Each structure stands twice: as C-alpha cells, then as structure tokens.
Amino acid sequence: MSKELKVQSWRPLEEVQKLFRETFQSHIFRLLQLREKGKPVGWFWAGSPVELAYVFDVANIFPEQYTAFCAARKKSDKLIDAAIEYQYGEFTCDYLKCSVGSILNSEAAPLGGHCGLKPDFVLDSRMCCYGHHAMSEIFANLYTEVKRFIIDAPYWTKEMVGKVDFLTKMPERISEEELEFVIAQLWDLMHFLEEITGEKLDEEHMKRVFEVSEKTSRNLIEIANLMLSKPTPMSQMDYRDFPAIGFFITAADYALHFTEKSLEIIKERVKKKEGVVEEEKLRLMSQGIIPWYSELYKYYEERGVTFPLNLYVESTFYLIEASKPLESLLRRSMLPINCDIDAWIESVVRRAKLADVDGAIMFENIGCRPISFGLRALKEVLWQELGIPSIIVEAPQCDPRIMPLERAILKMNAFIESLL
C-alpha cells in the first residue's frame, strides 16, 4: 500500500479459541455417544429447526459446518473436483460440492466424511434457500435408503412480517396463514422424529432444551452488540467460529458454556477498552460467507483495520424464546436471505450507523445466489444513504483456487487506501 498501514501486535482471544475447540470436541463426543446408543443420525441445514435434534436425542450432522471445517483446513479442493467430475454444476454452492465430493471421494474426506456418520434421515428444509432443498434431493439420490423429510417456509415478504430485527429475527408480526402452515409442518416433523427414534415427545425435556437454547441465543446477541464497541474487541478469526453455535447447536449445554465464558472474556475486553489491535485505523463492515480457507481478516486486523460488524455472522444468531418454542423454530427461517431484500437493506443501514463503519467489504460467494445477488443493491444503498463506500470481492467460501489471497489483497488494498 502506498499509504502504508503498519503491522501492529495482533491480539486474538486465544481463550475463546480454546473454548471453541473444546466445544467442538464435546459435540463429536455427543455424536459418538448417541451412535453407541443406536440413536439415528440426521443431517440438518442452516435455518432449519435444529433444536429438535436435542429434543429427540438425534445425532446431528451439519454438512455446511463440516465443509467449512474441510475448507478451513485446506482440504476442500479434491472434494470439489470430485463433485464437478460427476458433473454437478460448476456454479452451485461450494457447500454442496464439498459435501457431495466427500461422499463421492470418501478417501479425500477429513474426519471420515461428515464425521463418518451416514444419515438415517435428511431434514430437507426450504427455510433458508433453494440450495438446501436441492442438496437434500441429492443426498436422497446418493444414499438411496435415507429418509428425506421436507419442511417448507415462505420467503418472508414485508406484507407478511413488517419490519424484522435481523439480529434477533424478531418480526413486527407473522401472518396467520404462514404461521399455521409452518407450525403444522413442525408438528409433522415431530411425529416423524417420534417414529424414527421410536420415542414419544417428552415435553419436559423439550422445555429444558429450549431454556438452554434461549440462554445461548441471548449470549450470542449480546456478543454481537458488544462487537460494535470501540475499539473492536474481537478478531474475526475468532468470531467466525460463532455461526457454528448460532446456526446449529444453541440447544447444547456445551454451547451455552462456550457462550457464557466467551461473553465474560469479551465483556472484560470492552470494559478495559482493549481491542484486537492497539490502534484501530479503520472500521469495516463485512458481508458474505467467510472464505474459510483464508486469513484475510487477520492480514487486515494486524494493520489496524477491524471488523466490528459481520452481517454473515449476525445472520446466524436468533433470539430463541423458551415460552414460544414452535414460533422460535419458525423464526429460524427469517434469515436475511429468506426475507424481503429491501427490509434487510434498511436494517443493515441502521446497524452500519450503530457500528460507525468507514467502509464495507462484501464477499461474492460464487454459487451462492441469495447472498451474491443482493450485494450490488446493498452497495448502492450504503453509498447513497450513508456515504459508505464498499468493495465486492469474488470469494467462494470453500475453494481457495478461485480467490488466491494475494489477488484479493491487491484489490482490497486499493480500496483501503482510498479510505485512509
């Protein structure tokens, strides 16, 4: 960079990283224990009613989380190649290509492919995007014995929900027809789970599961709000682990423990006014799924560019209400990418003001239509309404060959120079 940003001492939260590793281990331990007890394995997508896996003691696998894990360890290329060789579309979601690739080329798949646990059922949820529905169909084709249960939610328009708080996923209202349609399907799903597990719904257990989930979800929301503090308290290299909690395992005791401890640590940092670097030079907003293989965030944070607002991470958080379990499960479908784009953009404008950001970096996740197709409209509004400039960087979330770090850095440096 011509206007050089000096490298400073970078301060990730090592304790949070350690806690996350322990949480991940606890999750694997739970899976193995459930398998030993002969419990069924279910594959779940982001935005689906994941609490039910804990209500019915199902071994819950998350193909997206698994593939993010593969990409972060730079083990995704062979998996993607296997999928393309089989002639899945080059421009389909990276999560699909990786996940299917781990089935087609199991030798190249870390952790034995999806933790070595083949599904007994796939929860096909059109609660987030069409891709999940299509991928479930693929799993049902590759594993011919697998049961595929479909749950459908509407694409939430303003007329149905009014304004939505996209951090908590709390809408102004929920239209009667949609509420009835989704709740009826959730009951069908619970009956299906009763059948597949051979166990009746235990309402007391369900209550406890949702109580844990509510506490975890409240912690995550508080953490997201603390992230807006000045200076930015946490590195994105730590924050990027949080979607795994918010999307998939809020109902687990180990997730609650992780968020409680992390919250304490972050609060302490905020209290001391300590940031991820000594001197914060620029505050940027980030949108799009994180390119898991990349250390881009670290590169910039070391140079004083911090990221107080990560819209993708925030999209994975929800306020779960133990008193309204089914409505909370329905609200899992109120992700920004499954809601009125204009309503979402309005909320981003509000959030960007709160975070007091200087610019925005948006990752165009090649193959992910709901995220990538809305970026340019967001870019336009951020500039027109707040005078916030932004840059779009091509970045598939799992394929490092498409976005070499150096090329992205070159492009982003030019943008950052213009902000200094």
Nearer to other proteins, 148 or 257 (CB): 148
Binding mask 67-86 for other proteins (x = CB under 8 A): -------------------x
Minimum distance from residue 121 beta carbon to other proteins (Å):
9
* 88 belongs to the binding site for other proteins (CB under 8 A): yes
When binding is defined by CB under 8 A, the residue of 24, 143, 149, 415 that contacts other proteins is 149
Q: Whose Cβ is closer to other proteins: residue 147's or residue 230's?
A: 147
Examine residue 135 and tell whether it contacts other proteins (CB under 8 A). Answer: yes
* Among residues 376, 383, 404, 410, the one that binds other proteins under rule CB under 8 A: 376
Site map 106..125 versus other proteins, x via CB under 8 A: ------------------x-
Do the beta carbons of residue 44 and residue 248 sit within 8 Å?
yes
193 binds other proteins (CB under 8 A): no
**Selected binder of other proteins within 15, 18, 74, 89 (CB under 8 A):** 89
Q: Does 129 bind other proteins (CB under 8 A)?
A: yes
Among 18, 21, 28, 141, binds other proteins (CB under 8 A): 141
Q: Which is nearer to other proteins, 29 or 373 (CB)?
A: 373
Using CB under 8 A, which of the segments 133-141, 161-169, 253-261, 293-301 binds other proteins? Answer: 133-141
Using CB under 8 A, which residues numbered 160 to 179 contact other proteins?
A: 177-178
Regarding 264 and contact with other proteins (CB under 8 A), the answer is: no
Residue number with CB closer to other proteins (302 or 340): 340
Q: For binding to other proteins (CB under 8 A), which residues are involved?
A: 86-92, 96, 124, 126, 129-131, 133-135, 137-138, 140-141, 147-152, 154-155, 157, 177-178, 181, 184-185, 188, 340-342, 364, 366-367, 369-370, 372-374, 376-377, 394
